[in-house]
Amino acid sequence: MKRNVISSLISTDLVGQSVTVCGWVRTFRNDQFLAVNDGSCLQNLQLVLDRDATDESLRKLLTTGAAIRATGQLVESQGGGQATEVKVEEVEVLGAADPDEFPIQMKRHTMEFLREKAHLRFRTSTFSAVFRLRHALQFAIHDFFNSDGFYMLHTPIITGSDAEGAGEMFKVSTSDPDQEFFGKPVNLTVSGQLEAELGAMALGKVYTFGPTFRAENSNTSRHLAEFWMIEPEVAFNDLSDNIDLAEACLKHVLRYVLEHNLPDLEFLANREAEAEKQLPADKRNATGLIERLRSVTEGAFVRLTYTEAIDLLRQSKPFKKKKFKYPVEWGVDLQSEHERWLVEKKFNCPVVLTDYPAGIKAFYMRRNDDGKTVAAMDVLVPGIGELIGGSQREERLEVLKEKCAEFNIPEDHIWWYLDTRKFGTAPHAGFGMGFERLVMFATGMTNIRDVIPFPRAPQSAEF
């Protein structure tokens, strides 16, 4: 179907030309003004109908949600609010949407309601903006790594290993439970890291960008059972190179959307400001969305060790006033209340925590000289908490074998992983960035289920 996308018609470049527009009706006012959106941009195009020339039966079908095609002349808009409009010569309804049944009417719906209508929520300005940004972010990620000489590696989705050792795997089998299709138990991957390391030990710089699956039974606004992760892995990098890479990557992708997706970001910034009016002052973001993203692209990230963070937390007001729900002492895993205090209250910028206690991190992280901590790093950002988790990897075969024993990982399960330490081992490092958490951060959306088209979470796998 030959048509002009609306993004090419909202500026005056094509004024005077005859155009064909296809899209979905957002509103129809005064039997004359049709606001139409085709997804190519946030803005609707105004179509002006000749009231006398459109018969009533047709007008009745021009309701919110209907798909239409119209032709006419693009002219400079008579009214305010838009630069152009179309003087319609012909309009055709391709698919009606019964107003008594179509659930996405032009009023404010709750996010919960729209989640139940995830098949139709793309039709709202909010979700179309979010998903255009999701696209732009993934494009910017590929752009960043490609420009920096990385090779993208597709790592398997079905695997026999549990990279993170957290035991949160989904088993994979055929409908016959007695038949072991792969000759051994397998699961959906929780991370492509172990395989990415194998690639990095020859290709130098690789990254994966794929779906990962975790049966974490945590019904939070920041966890999904199926999410996408970006995992770069670089030979000859140490922990500090790894942090530099994470910082550069995050800054690049945010700069990219600030440059290419400003109308969508501005819309979401206003939406957030509106929504925050309902919240008590201390629950609101200190600054607006766009300012938040800009400040991340401009300022340096704060870097401190886990041990320093524990000290700061124990000196903090909420700790002294017993406001934290979870304990703060050396050796415990930080909870999101602690992470958020650090990024939102103490530093108000991304914070990179390093050198965590070995016991709370995965087996593959490089043991530090103190024998107690490992060369881990987590990047925490305002509003989200942990966005990135990574480390320098244990490249010393003997130490790695000790770690396998400590973590009860049979060596014959990951003989191939150990082989890289036997043949030409070298320092290397990498990280994993949760893609949905990045989309949350960049859009200001507060629930992870609203930044992936069809969320998978406990008791929820519709669509």
How many CA within 13 A on the CB side of residue 270?
A: 8
What is the rounded CA–CA span in Å between residue 380 and residue 312? 15
Look-up: residue for tokens 């942090």?
A: 243
Contact stretch for ligand 4AD (CB under 6 A) within 12-20, 108-116, 381-389, 403-411? 381-389
Our CA dihedral for 417, 423, 428, 432, rounded to 10 degrees, sits at: -20
User: Which of Mg ion, ligand 4AD, none interacts with 193 (beta carbon under 5 to 8 A by kind)?
Assistant: ligand 4AD
CB closer to ligand 4AD, 123 vs 393: 393
Helix (H) or strand (E) holding 212: strand 205-213
CB closer to Mg ion, 93 vs 163: 163
Q: Which amino acid is at 188?
A: L
Q: What SS3 state is found at 132?
A: helix
Interface with ligand 4AD, residue 195, by CB under 6 A? no
**Contact in structure between 73 and 16 (CB atoms under 8 Å):** yes
> Exactly one of 26, 123, 134, 223 binds ligand 4AD (CB under 6 A); which one?
223
CB closer to ligand 4AD, 209 vs 267: 209
> Exactly one of 199, 210, 390, 427 binds ligand 4AD (CB under 6 A); which one?
390
> Exactly one of 23, 65, 232, 389 binds Mg ion (CB under 5 A); which one?
389
User: Which of Mg ion, ligand 4AD, none interacts with 223 (beta carbon under 5 to 8 A by kind)?
Assistant: ligand 4AD
CB closer to ligand 4AD, 62 vs 388: 388
CA distances from 424 to 198, 202, 416 (A): 12, 10, 13
Interface with ligand 4AD, residue 214, by CB under 6 A? yes
Interface with ligand 4AD, residue 235, by CB under 6 A? no
- Rounded to the nearest whole angstrom, what is the least distance from the CB of residue 293 to Mg ion in the complex? 23
What is the rounded CA–CA span in Å between residue 233 and residue 206? 5
CB closer to ligand 4AD, 230 vs 289: 230
Interface with ligand 4AD, residue 382, by CB under 6 A? no
> Which residue number places its CB atom closest to Mg ion?
389
Q: Which amino acid is at 367?
A: R
Radius of gyration of the chain (CA): 26
CB closer to Mg ion, 82 vs 336: 336
CA distances from 330 to 86, 368, 385, 389 (A): 66, 16, 19, 19
DSSP calls for 314-364: HHSHHHHTT--SS---TTSPPPHHHHHIIIIIIISS-EEEEEEEGGGS-TT
> Exactly one of 143, 148, 216, 402 binds ligand 4AD (CB under 6 A); which one?
216
- Rounded to the nearest whole angstrom, what is the least distance from the CB of residue 233 to ligand 4AD in the complex? 7
Angle at 114 between CA 209 and CA 128, to 5 degrees: 55
Residues 135-174: x/- map of binding to ligand 4AD (CB under 6 A)? ----------------------------xx----------
Interface with ligand 4AD, residue 434, by CB under 6 A? yes
Q: What SS3 state is found at 73?
A: strand
Contact stretch for ligand 4AD (CB under 6 A) within 103-111, 245-253, 341-349, 383-391? 383-391
- Rounded to the nearest whole angstrom, what is the least distance from the CB of residue 382 to ligand 4AD in the complex? 14
User: Which of ligand 4AD, Mg ion, none interacts with 229 (beta carbon under 5 to 8 A by kind)?
Assistant: ligand 4AD
> How many Cβ atoms from other residues are within 10 Å of residue 174's Cβ?
10
Q: Which of 342, 335, 336, 334 is nearest to 316 (CA)?
A: 342
The contact set with Mg ion (CB under 5 A) reads 389
Residues that bind ligand 4AD (CB under 6 A): 163-164, 191, 193, 214, 216, 223-224, 227, 229, 231, 386-391, 430-432, 434, 436-437
